[in-house]
Structure 1
Amino acid sequence: MSLSTILLWSVLPPLIMMLWVWALRFPQSWILKTVVILEVLVMLLVLLIEFDARHVAGNGGWTMIFFAVFQIYAGIGIGLIRLVMWCSKSKP
């Protein structure tokens, strides 16, 4: 797998997730800071694994696929949590 593909699929999902959490505007400031730290750490781990796996034929890409799918589910979950917070706050 090429280096540009590894960088694209290892860096793009965390950036999208950070923008998503920022756009949801959680009232607690620690949530965005925690998400940024976790995303950077996991991104570095995925990059490390994929850089090593690209030298073995047929072995590269699995971590990035799992990571991207996990990011989708986590983004939906975070959106639902924010929706519940918003609905519970708007009730009189």
Structure 2
Amino acid sequence: MIKVSVMYPKGDDTTFDIEYYKTTHMDIVERTMKPSKIEIDSGNDGPYVAIGHLYFDSPEALAAGMGGSEEAMADLANFTNAAPAMQMSEVFER
């Protein structure tokens, strides 16, 4: 399984509409990127205002999902002025 974490850093002038992110933006992500699972961390403390985790069952599913990410990327300005950082990780479960 592959996890894509999209991390939105906090800053003095950072704006972030968590309700829009949880509903409208994640609806776009789900429809266009088709992850098998989505998790959202809302940061109360720490360096990020929010982190979205998208899970894909295979490298092929990840590649297809990233190919559909244009609409989701274009939607960023509708809920934040933060430039997100991304990390892709292979997930191992025991």
- Fold equivalence (TM over 0.5): no
**Structure having the higher Rg:** 1
Which TM bucket (shorter chain)? 0.3 to 0.5
Higher strand share: 2
Greater RCO (Cα-Cα under 8 Å, separation 6 or more):
2
